[in-house]
């Protein structure tokens, strides 16, 4: 147990050491690389100030974007995965939109959705949907037809096959789609908060950039990373319980 903890912490310790090394070695101008302890001190100050509000607002935006994105990605991905004829026509469209970076859409989003919460959630929705839908349909397309055949020989009707065979087989893919979408949404957060955001981790970073407060930028970046990591770990714990039957569990 102790060994395991040590192994998990080791890479983090290495990063902190390298960080110190870069600061003190002078390879890079030390004024441009705040030390870990100064970033930590800044974190402490912000934690009693605007940081809780930033975390809450950003988390809510990510949550809403991912929720709507996945709510749409699951049925759409399902149809595309299950009906290859539909996929043939829709696939180029998906790849077209998927290739557009959300940041390039910001001007249009502002035109159509304004500069409020809605605009930020729309960007995150866009990113989550396209990430999720691909994972979902690739997964569904790989479901082996043997299970449907077996169910038919046991007397299952179409609705029973959907509810008792296809749905349980789709659950792991839904969870993977959710995981991927969450990761992508956190990665897109800063872009979404380019739209006139007063609060949020992305706006924290951008405001700090305007005043060259490097330590605050580090606090924002590390904050986003840790929240995304915590959510992923949580989701994996849920997945382990929900799809304990799988050969290989994420």
By the criterion CB under 8 A, which residues form the site for another protein? 146-147, 149-157, 160, 164-165, 168-169, 171, 243-247
Least Å from the CB of residue 241 to another protein: 13
Least Å from the CB of residue 174 to another protein: 13
Alpha-carbon distance 205 to 224, whole Å? 10
Least Å from the CB of residue 155 to another protein: 3
Alpha-carbon distance 199 to 192, whole Å? 12
Of 79 and 148, nearer to another protein (C-beta) is 148
Of 3 and 248, nearer to another protein (C-beta) is 248
The contacts of residue 190 (CB under 8 Å, 6+ apart) are 201, 202, 205, 206, 224
Token pair for residue 7? 């192994």
Of 165 and 194, nearer to another protein (C-beta) is 165
Least Å from the CB of residue 26 to another protein: 55
Of 211 and 245, nearer to another protein (C-beta) is 245
CB-count burial class (<10 Å; 0-12, 13-18, 19+) for 242: middle
Alpha-carbon distance 136 to 126, whole Å? 15
Least Å from the CB of residue 5 to another protein: 29
- How does DSSP assign 19-72, residue by residue? HHHHHHH-SS-GGGS--HHHHHHHHHHHHTTTHHHHHHHHHHHHHHHHHHHHHH
Least Å from the CB of residue 36 to another protein: 44
The contacts of residue 155 (CB under 8 Å, 6+ apart) are none
Of 29 and 153, nearer to another protein (C-beta) is 153
Of 49 and 160, nearer to another protein (C-beta) is 160
């Amino acid at each position: 147990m102790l060994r395991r903890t040590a192994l998990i912490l080791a890479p983090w310790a290495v990063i902190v050491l390298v960080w110190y090394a870069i600061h003190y070695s002078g390879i890079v101008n030390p004024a441009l690389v705040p030390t870990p302890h100064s970033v930590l001190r800044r974190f402490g100050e912000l934690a009693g100030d605007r940081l809780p509000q930033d975390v809450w607002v950003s988390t809510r935006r990510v949550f809403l974007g991912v929720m709507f994105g996945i709510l749409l990605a699951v049925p759409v991905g399902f149809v595309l995965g299950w009906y290859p004829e539909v996929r043939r026509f829709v696939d180029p469209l998906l790849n077209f939109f998927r290739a557009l970076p959300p940041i390039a859409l910001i001007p249009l989003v502002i035109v159509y959705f304004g500069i409020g919460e809605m605009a930020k959630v729309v960007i995150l929705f866009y990113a989550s949907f396209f990430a999720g839908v691909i994972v979902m349909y690739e997964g569904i397309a790989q479901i082996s037809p043997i299970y449907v055949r077996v169910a038919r020989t046991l007397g299952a009707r179409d609705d029973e096959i959907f509810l008792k065979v296809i749905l349980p087989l789709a659950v792991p893919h839904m969870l993977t789609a959710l995981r991927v979408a969450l990761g992508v949404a956190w990665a897109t957060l800063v872009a979404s908060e380019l739209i006139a955001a007063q609060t949020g981790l992305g706006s924290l970073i951008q405001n700090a950039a305007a005043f060259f407060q490097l330590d605050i930028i580090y606090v924002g970046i590390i904050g986003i990373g840790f929240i995304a990591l915590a959510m992923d770990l949580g989701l994996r714990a849920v997945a382990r319980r929900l799809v304990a039957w799988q050969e290989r569990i994420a």
